[in-house]
Amino acid sequence: MIASTSPLHQTTSIFLFNLNLSRPFDHLSKPTLTASSSSPLSLSVDRSRSNGNMEWLRGMSSGCVKDRRREDLKVEPDSGGENVFSAAADKQPPEHLIVMVNGLVGSAADWRYAAGQFVKKIPDKVIVHRSECNSSKLTFDGVDLMGERLVDEVRRVVSHRPEVQKISFVAHSLGGLIARYAIGRLYENSPKLDPTIISGNSPSEEEKKYSMQQFEQPCEARIAGLQPMNFITFATPHLGSRGNKQLPFLCGLPFLERRVSQTAHLVAGRTGKHLFLNDGDNEKPPLLLQMVKDSDDLKFISALRAFKRRVAYANANYDHMVGWRTSSIRRQHELPKSSLLMTDEKYPHIVHIERATADNNKALSVDGEKPIDLEEEMIRGLTQVPWERVDVSFRKSRQRYIAHTTIQVKSYWLNSDGADVVFHMIDNFLL
């Protein structure tokens, strides 16, 4: 029984649970969400557990803040994930779908706090779908297979929500790569038709003008049939995890980095191969290298270009899982110097913002005979489209050693210092 343990033991267990190092409360990690007449959101759990223990656990998951009520939110299962939206959305259905994607060994619960803040701040504008198709051990199956699962899930959600017109993606860590793969599959490019041109004409004239439009009107890029708006990643290894200090907990030691690169698949399966670029099968380049260009059937760069904004939030320090270069899509010399880091009272952990500008591949003056390494090739591919870079630092925070999850506020109780980063994302979100 939970009640038989000491408060210190409870705190330690919850800490390990949120870091995915241990799962002592696995039977409580996914409560069933149901609606009731008194509250749109209630938790149905095993009645054998005491009410006092469950109130304590709820308090921990919400950050022990009593005034953070959820009466204005609704949560419902949809296509394997969960939709979060305003209780008033039934009267005015939101037109903007936000798809949130978890990282390695994660789940839809990782985005619970951020999804709630989105709906509270802009309740009549957005519906947030927290993806669940790639959770826990399924995240070892490889970026391509997980991307296909996300494609199927997004298509099902869109089919259930015919009112949505716009789509955005928000992803953490590995989820950013999954989302990049998925949008390459969801990308559509069709003529931008004006229905007023063909209204009132005879059928033959309609057909003629329709055909003319296909040639004369500009094409409009779509993702899953919707207008793409924001593509946002948090601490995503866009350039993979292979290379000096791209996996920071190895301390930049070359022999450790080589050894982990060779054995990553034993721990993380096909995903490990993809992250360390060891998957060059059938004379094809590694998948992450394929994902920085368009091919005949997968338009990865065209899909990224279709979004009005692309933003990479990156931890400048204390992220032991994803390096600064790979999460911000930069070369080493392009990282901001300490003298350029700023302090913002409203967003105290946002230390540098680089607005989206055309990169034009500044470093193309490399000796033509010198081979280009994989990291440089990926940077050149991804910077064909402009990115906003937002650098984050928890250097002065007590939560700095778990910066990788704090940047997304995976658990408010453990990662509350990252709330300003979430608010920065929402305040700058393009609706």
Report the largest interatomic distance among the alpha carbons of the chain, rounded to a whole angstrom: 80
**Who contacts 412 (Cβ-Cβ below 8 Å, separation ≥6)?**
61, 62, 63, 65, 113, 419
Percent of the chain with pLDDT over 90: 56
**Where does CATH 3.40.50 sit in the chain?**
71-192+221-427
For 77-131, the pLDDT digits (tens) are 988 898 998 877 666 889 999 999 999 999 999 999 999 999 999 988 999 999 9
- Asked if residues 110 and 172 have their Cβ atoms less than 8 Å apart, the reply is yes
Report the alpha-carbon distance of residue 47 to residue 290 in Å, rounded: 51
- Asked if residues 406 and 415 have their Cβ atoms less than 8 Å apart, the reply is yes
Write down the pLDDT at residue 321.
95
Stretch (H or E) spanning 313: strand 309-315
Q: Which of 163, 182, 118 is nearest to 429 (CA)?
A: 118
**Number of C-beta neighbours around residue 164 at 10 A:** 22
Q: Which of 103, 142, 183 is nearest to 281 (CA)?
A: 142
- Asked if residues 124 and 108 have their Cβ atoms less than 8 Å apart, the reply is no
Residues 36-60 have a mean pLDDT of: 40
At residue 405, what is the residue type?
T
Write down the pLDDT at residue 370.
56
Write down the pLDDT at residue 280.
74
For 172-196, the pLDDT digits (tens) are 999 999 999 999 999 998 765 544 4
Write down the pLDDT at residue 247.
85
Average pLDDT, the chain: 80
User: Can you list the alpha helix ranges (DSSP code H) found in 43-135?
Assistant: 51-61, 112-121
**Who contacts 344 (Cβ-Cβ below 8 Å, separation ≥6)?**
350
For 315-374, the pLDDT digits (tens) are 999 999 999 999 999 999 999 987 778 878 899 999 999 998 765 455 444 445 556 799
Residues 361-388 have a mean pLDDT of: 77
CATH of 71-192+221-427 given 3.30.420, 3.30.70, 3.40.50, 1.10.3470: 3.40.50
Percent of the chain with pLDDT over 70: 72
pTM of the predicted model, to two decimals?
0.77
Is the four-CA dihedral 249, 255, 259, 261 of positive or negative sign?
positive
Pick 367 or 231 by higher pLDDT.
231
